[in-house]
Amino acid sequence: MDRWIGLLNVSLTGGGGGGGGGCGGGGPLFRVAASLLLSPSSKTLAVQIPSPPSPPSPPLKTLIKFPNPSPPPPWDQVPSVNAILFNGDRVEGTGDPVIEKLSDPRNVAEILVSKLGGAANAWVVDASTFAGSFAVYKELVPTVNSRGDPRRYRPNRLPASSSIVSILTKCVDQIQSMVSGERIPSPQLQTTSPRTIILGFSKGGVVVNQLLTELPFAASESPRSSNNSASSSTPRETKYHIVPATKERLLFSIAEFHYVDVGLNCAGAYLTDRVVIKKIADHLLLRNASIRFGLHGTPRQWCDDYRPWIRKEKDTLKQLLEDEARRCGGKLQVLERVYLSNKPPSLQMHFEIIELMDIS
């Protein structure tokens, strides 16, 4: 199956950066690894297009004979999901081959595809700013301090969702230019955007928390209106059928949130705001939608005697989610999985969870 795999650098301002090691103007650069499905026929990024409608059947009891309709043209496999993982702090120079391998975001993107199937597009995002080794997601979580630790989570202006849409669309622009030198032609059938899976690894969990805080405050744009007819699409609009077009569409497309061995040197690794969790459940009931939560951990984080708040926060979030799940029926699901529980805590297991996690 044909895929585009590579590294991109994009800025939220200015020209958006460049592919590979290129530099961009106007602001700090997010490094993004991507593994995206290509159309075998056109060698451009695959766009989600539903199967064409069947020709109308002739009326019953008619004497007119209709010729058999011609078989439809072959349809390329199309992306069904965008999996977006947010990385944590930098870990360099360990000499451990496992850590070195799983510190490469391109490898992580390929692991996500292997778990979700060939119809998945995978994105692995590093913070734009680092204070030494500490990841600082200041554009997505404006309330973080200089070391990237959150003081609180606030939904004002939906900074995480709007920033993610900008990052992904700029990445799509760059990749389209590299694979074809031109924009994807507009499809003539109605198109729909893939669903979204959000994963936060280590400190990347702060982005998960921010998105959860924003979710109940998304504008009331109906899902049906979010999927505009492609018959009037421009080439510029077509990329939004690869990634969501707006922050509201991104939030409404999210089907799963996964915390992957998250942890901080302060409180705030997991969202423990009862009011926010209740609003999320109300949001699901109002929209007749569903979301699955995955809590994945190792002894490195959940059994850390020096940071006992991590496990306490995880247990609190799990209880809040389970309480709301009972109220929502099957619209909210939560699962907890621990990995390498029979081994002593180590930095290696903190990275090994990326390969071991079950997100099926």
User: How many domains does the chain fold into?
Assistant: 1
Helices 347-356 and 105-116: crossing angle, nearest 10°? 40
Tokens of 336: 């907890």
Tell me: pLDDT of 239 over 70. no
Determine, yes or no, domain membership for 272. Answer: yes
Assign residue 136 the CATH number of its domain. 3.40.50
- Residue 232 has a pLDDT of 36
pLDDT interval class at 329 (50, 70, 90) = confident
Residue 188: domain span: 3-46+76-356
The confidence score (pLDDT) of residue 241 equals: 76
Most confidently modeled range among 20-24, 217-221, 268-272: 268-272
Compute the 3-state secondary structure of the chain and give helix, strand, coil in percent, each to the nearest 5.
35, 20, 45
- CA atoms of 329 and 244, how far apart (whole Å): 28
156: burial class by Cβ within 10 Å (0-12, 13-18, 19+)? exposed
299 in a structural domain: yes
Is residue 257 a contact partner of residue 212, using CB atoms and an 8 Å limit? yes
Q: For 266-305, write each residue's pLDDT tens digit.
A: 999 999 999 999 999 999 999 999 999 999 999 999 999 9
Task: Sort 360 into a burial class: Cβ within 10 Å, 0-12 / 13-18 / 19+.
Answer: exposed
- 68 found inside a domain: no
- C-alpha to C-alpha distance for 122 and 85, rounded to whole angstroms: 8
The reply to whether 207 falls in a domain is yes
Answer whether residue 48 shows pLDDT above 70: no
Can you give the pTM of this predicted structure?
Answer: 0.85
Domain membership flag for residue 310: yes
- Give the separation between CA 265 and CA 69, rounded to whole angstroms: 65
Going by C-alpha positions, the residue among 125, 207, 135, 219 that lies closest to residue 168 is 125
> What is the model's pLDDT at position 40?
67
Q: Per-residue pLDDT for 220 more than 80?
A: no
Structure tokens, 300: 């490195």
Q: Is residue 61 part of a domain?
A: no
Q: What is the model's pLDDT at position 229?
A: 35
> What does the pLDDT look like over 77-94, one tens digit per residue?
678 999 999 999 999 999
Question: How large is the average pLDDT for residues 20-38?
Answer: 79
How far apart CA 16 and CA 174 sit, in angstroms, is: 9
Residue 64 lies in a domain: no
- Give the C-alpha separation, 187 to 27, whole Å: 34
Domain-located, residue 202:
yes
Q: Is 84 left (phi over 0), alpha (psi -120 to 50) or beta?
A: beta
Are 359 and 318 contacting, i.e. CB atoms less than 8 angstroms apart? no
The C-alpha R_g of the chain, in whole angstroms, comes to: 22
